[in-house]
Amino acid sequence: MSQKAKRYLIIRCEKCGKLTLAHSNSASRTCPSCGHRQRVLANPPIASSESPEEVRKILGLLKSADQRASRNKDLRKAI
């Protein structure tokens, strides 16, 4: 099996749950939020793309969806 073009992956930190970008050719990624080091290949990406612009757009959408979800959770707790 030969390595295809480099892809940009969106992975979720297995420790703190924050979304982060990783490159498909890097073996590990340190979470910018909690510093947890995880193996990129061991963590299935939520999304991937060959275009850095596209993957950033997807990351932005996922992050705002995450924020909405946590706001909803807070609302439910308040009720």
Chain residues binding Zn ion by CB under 5 A are 13, 15-16, 31, 33-34, 36
Q: Cβ of residue 78: shortest distance to Zn ion, in angstroms? A: 27
CB 30 within 8 A of CB 37: yes
Which two three-digit tokens encode residue 35?
């510093």
Complex with Zn ion: residue 14 or 54, whichever CB lies closer? 14
Q: Cβ of residue 16: shortest distance to Zn ion, in angstroms? A: 3
Q: Cβ of residue 12: shortest distance to Zn ion, in angstroms? A: 9
Three-class DSSP category at 22: strand
Residue 63 has phi, psi (to 5 degrees) of -65, -40
